[in-house]
Amino acid sequence: MEVFIQYGNKMLNFTFMSIKYTFDSSFKEIDKHKFIDANNNDFDRLKEYFNNSGEMLIKYYIFSTREGKYKSDPFRSISRASARWHVNSVYRYWEVDEDPHFPHELVHIFAHQLDKPYIWKTKLDTYNEDTIEVDLPMVSTSFLQEGLAVALDDIIFQRKIHENGKWEFLDKLVENINEWDLITTKILNFEGFSEVPNSVSIPFAGYLSKHIIKKYSFEKFKQLYIGIKEIHSTEENTKTFNNILKRSLDSIVEEVKSQFISVRK
CATH number, residue 100: 3.40.30.160
In this prediction, residue 12 carries a pLDDT of 60
Domain interval for residue 194: 140-264
Residue predicted with more confidence, 55 or 101:
101
Same domain, 77 and 160: no
**pLDDT digits over 69-105, tens only?**
999 999 999 899 999 987 899 999 999 999 999 999 9
This prediction's pTM: 0.90
CA angle 185, 187, 188 (to 5 degrees): 80
pLDDT band at 4 (very low <50, low <70, confident <90, very high): very low
The answer to whether residue 119 is domain-embedded is no
The answer to whether residue 196 is domain-embedded is yes
The answer to whether residue 118 is domain-embedded is no
d(CA 90, CA 139): 17
Same domain, 259 and 151: yes
Same domain, 48 and 100: yes
End position of a domain, from candidates 95, 111, 127: 111
Same domain, 89 and 183: no
**pLDDT digits over 143-196, tens only?**
999 999 999 999 999 999 988 778 999 999 999 898 999 999 999 999 999 999
Question: Is pLDDT at 218 greater than 90 in this prediction?
Answer: yes
Is 130 buried (19+), middle (13-18) or exposed (0-12) by CB count in 10 A? exposed
Question: Is pLDDT at 133 greater than 50 in this prediction?
Answer: yes
Q: Please count the structural domains in the chain.
A: 2
In this prediction, residue 5 carries a pLDDT of 37
Same domain, 196 and 254: yes
